[in-house]
Amino acid sequence: MPFQGFEGPAGTGKTHRLVEDIVAWVTANPLQPYQQILALTFMHGSRRRLDQRLSLLPALRGRFCCMTIDSLAEQITGRWKSLCNHHGIQTGTFEETVACAAFLLEQPIVAHWVASSFPVVVIDEGQELTPARLRMVKALAAHTKCFVAADEFQCLDENLDLQPFRSWFATGNITQLTQVRRTGQQGLLNAAIALRAGAAPVNGAGLKIKYEFKNQAPFSIGHELHRGLSNGGNVALIIAPSAKAWADQLIPRLLAGFSSSRQTIPPLRLGWETRPDEEVTQVMAAIPPGESILSEAVLNSFAGLPHMPPWLSDVVGAIKHQRRACGQLAWTRFALQGLMERKAAIHRAYGHSGTKGIPVMTIHGAKNRQFKHVVVLWQPGVPGSDNHKRRLLYNAITRAEQSCAVFVRTEALLAEPPFA
């Protein structure tokens, strides 16, 4: 059966229409007592938000299962491991696991096994589907009622070839959404339209793009953050890929507060939101060298970390349990990294952010989120093509509901894409 697709710019209500149509379909085609809706996203943040959205609907409460597509891949390969082994398919890395899951779902017996429990499948962030993940979705769509939301312009992976997804998506019943509902600020709306059209965004109601002299920039950024807090609602500081060093210089000053003879910036509460893969890389860098590391040496290395991720206590518990219950006294580097990745992913999926006050995040980390007020830092050196830079700026600006202030580090940037 053809799948139902929803396509439109950020803030046009793709997820809202997705949920509306699911409720209508389930009302007309009641699920069996043992059946659920399977809702899949690309990132855990989107999974949490979609889970919250579905749980608010009485018609769907207790009748859906929300997870990332990678989590589904792990479950399928775990359940059908003997079939993987029979075909000699490796599942050591995430990408190998996803490729294996795609192969399994292309087998009718596995696809029917999934469809019997999940006759309805929902896909959010469809534009992020890599070839193997797209194979998984195509196999599911052939045996279930499938709903897909996507916006090609919000894909931030410049190396991902979107043509396979584009070709498949065109085969569905697609509803085009055009009215932006997230904001009524005309400056934000006009900037989003301009960036999608390859044109330059301009200042307007709700949007400021500006360069400030080096000594004034910290004051102007601080004023914008305080103004957002005083106007009510949540505030975010979003960092372009090249601007992390600039942010790292600013954050200690904003935390402490600073002043001049004419201006004062009171202290702000803010801090970086880190991604699980970044945290794992930082922790692995502290592990002693070698392919096989004693458990005691691993645990001792954790004690010297300047910052311990919240999931690290689960890793410590797992290492101690293996030593106590199984007599495991050493870990290979590969196994240790796999353990950390699993614990970090679980915490990301079901835990909560430890950031207090204003969150500081990358543009990639801000995807699919929204804030009343947004401040963006943009510095020379943003990688990628001019179109990719426009997508980055678009994703940053469209996080804002009421106001967005973009600060560029050098005046010359205003004469270059994506600002010109």
Cβ–Cβ under 8 Å, residues 151 and 178 = no
Of 16, 29, 45, 10, nearest in space to 365 by CA: 45
The reported pLDDT for the residue numbered 348 is 67
Domains 4-176 and 186-273+354-415 share a fold: yes
CATH number of 4-176: 3.40.50.300
**Strand 235-239 to 358-362 pairing:** parallel
**Alpha carbons 226 and 209: distance in angstroms, whole number:** 18
3-class state of residue 271 by DSSP? strand
* DSSP at 204: B
Name the amino acid, one letter, at 241: P
The reported pLDDT for the residue numbered 354 is 52
Q: Residue 405 — φ and ψ, nearest 5°?
A: -120, 120
In the chain, which residues have pLDDT < 50? none
The reported pLDDT for the residue numbered 355 is 57
CA distances from 146 to 26, 29, 67, 261 (A): 12, 14, 15, 62
Name the amino acid, one letter, at 266: P
For residue 266, give both structure tokens. 């009171």
**Alpha carbons 410 and 258: distance in angstroms, whole number:** 22
* Count of C-beta atoms within a 10 Å radius of residue 78: 12
3-class state of residue 359 by DSSP? strand
Q: What whole-number percentage of the chain has pLDDT above 90?
A: 72
* DSSP at 111: H
The reported pLDDT for the residue numbered 343 is 85
Which CATH number does the domain 186-273+354-415 belong to among 3.40.50.300, 3.40.50.720, 3.30.70.560, 3.40.605.10? 3.40.50.300
Of 84, 108, 96, nearest in space to 133 by CA: 96
The reported pLDDT for the residue numbered 95 is 86
Q: Please state the domain extents for the chain.
A: 4-176, 186-273+354-415, 283-341
**Alpha carbons 203 and 403: distance in angstroms, whole number:** 11
